[in-house]
Chains A and B, each alone.
Chain A
């Protein structure tokens, strides 16, 4: 029998989940007490947890209770628009980011020709492009997709480009010795060893895409979750605004965990030992 270690060595995964749930509950109770009972901040501005739960009802409820139906925009219009903008923006990011990243990661000349421009573009604060995007692409989904794809391309691209750099040269040489052509070297050696980096980029891109989506919709869009937040805030339904926010957070967490799970399946040699 193993000797009993310090207390933290005996904490299991489900203990951790319990701890987090308990902490969220405690924070909720304190929050409720500070704002609902003591009114440190006016509860109209800062909703209490009970009002956030009411907010979910407000969003999905129909008839008298719903604010959205009063403005003749059902919740699903917003959800559909956001899902469309998010997925297409991220898709463009992947389609542009991974090939260009692999190109500048494998070829020195390509990196020297366009590398600096990519670092420059990366330095552009993407929020600054939102007002011009309205002028270029109008008021529908297009400017939002532009912003999301601009924000998501560069994390994917730069992380992917770092991948082929880490390949052990002796692996490439041994592939050459066994008669692999350039394409086969790329497909069998370079691509698999870049896989972890692509996934790291993807995980960053999932978070940054959600942020840019919300920002792009908050600043000058009439549909989407961000626009819903603005709408609810301007009706002083901050509970509903926080409900939208929490749903967005939940979606991001689920997507991030999904990518992490896929990464652990596809690249176990890299993500296997990381515990967090």
Chain B
């Protein structure tokens, strides 16, 4: 009897709440959906118009010389030809070369950057002794080291890995340091009051508070890493996407170089998405103040 009553009560409440909720959600969803779909439509039209305009000015209208600014159709043709597996002249080897270098340099940068950042960000001695040095080293334009690095490590993959590492390590290091600086002191003190040891404070309070920043640093490092890939390969290499880009530009095959740029954009965006996905999975509680993207 009581059980049934409780059940009906519960179900009634649930159904009531659910209905209410669903109505509101549906209402909001419809409004939002219609508005976003309108804006998506406008976006598609914009893209189509831009591509059409581009095609016209470097194609039939002849405003731009297609040697300098190739029409989108030519770029897509070239892109299709270069794609691995399906294309006629696939560039699989170069893509693999670039991506392997990126992976080595990036992982190395992530490990070193996080470790050093933790040391600097969470210990007072580290902050005082190494913090200012890290900031000053951050200001050195490390990409200008590329010629020297290639002189030391040669034209092969090693020099590329070093360049990628040098470019990608600092975002991770600096954001981890900043993360350590913003850890809530009250929480740390509360932990201590409740008798947590240093190790426990570290594991239960500081690291969870700091971890989102590490991931933000890793996200920034993706872009830097790809820039490093390009710098290393443009400076001197015998393989890789950057080499193809340079060679095709200087051979006046602009369609090909635009296609390489497109491949690079796709690759870096995919890596970014991967890291962002990792962040939403690993630290779902951390809300970023991404003011523009939330609109």
Contacts and interface: CB of A to CB of B under 8 A. Distances in A.
A19 B136 CA distance: 13
Interface stretch (B5-13, B125-133, B192-200, B208-216): B125-133
A125 B257 contact: no
A123 interface: yes
Given A11-B128, A211-B143, A45 B148 contact: yes
Nearest to A212: B143
A230 B146 CA distance: 9
Contacts of B68: 135-136
A123 B133 CA distance: 30
B20 interface: no
Nearest to B138: A207
Contact of A165 (B128, B132, B291): B291
Nearest to A217: B144
A24 B257 CA distance: 43
Contacts of B268: 123, 125
Contact of B148 (A108, A210, A241): A241
A252 interface: yes
B180 to A, nearest CB: 12
Interface in B109-138: 124-125, 128-129, 132-133, 135-136, 138
A160 B128 CA distance: 32
Given A125-B230, A132-B249, A253-B139, A229 B152 contact: no
A236 to B, nearest CB: 8
B26 to A, nearest CB: 24
Contact of B291 (A126, A128, A166, A245): A166
Interface size class of A (residues with CB under 8 A): 35 or more
Given A238-B148, A245-B140, A218 B124 contact: no
Interface size class of B (residues with CB under 8 A): 35 or more
A128 B144 contact: no
A239 B68 CA distance: 40
Nearest to A166: B291
A61 interface: no
Interface in B163-183: 181
Given A128-B245, A131-B246, A248 B141 contact: yes
A215 interface: yes
B227 A252 contact: no
A256 B227 CA distance: 22
Contact of A248 (B39, B144, B181, B260): B144
Given A123-B268, A125-B264, A131 B250 contact: yes
B69 to A, nearest CB: 8
Given A219-B234, A252-B139, A128 B292 contact: no
B70 to A, nearest CB: 10
Interface of B: 39, 42-43, 46, 68, 124-125, 128-129, 132-133, 135-136, 138-148, 151-152, 181, 223, 226-227, 230-231, 234-235, 242, 245-246, 249-250, 252, 254, 257-258, 260-261, 264-265, 268-269, 272, 291-292, 295
- CB-CB nearest 7 A-B residue pairs: A131-B249, A214-B144, A165-B291, A127-B230, A249-B140, A233-B147, A8-B124
Given A104-B292, A135-B250, 5 more contacts: A23-B133, A45-B151, A126-B227, A238-B148, A246-B140
7 contacts: A23-B129, A111-B292, A135-B250, A165-B291, A218-B231, A234-B147, A249-B141
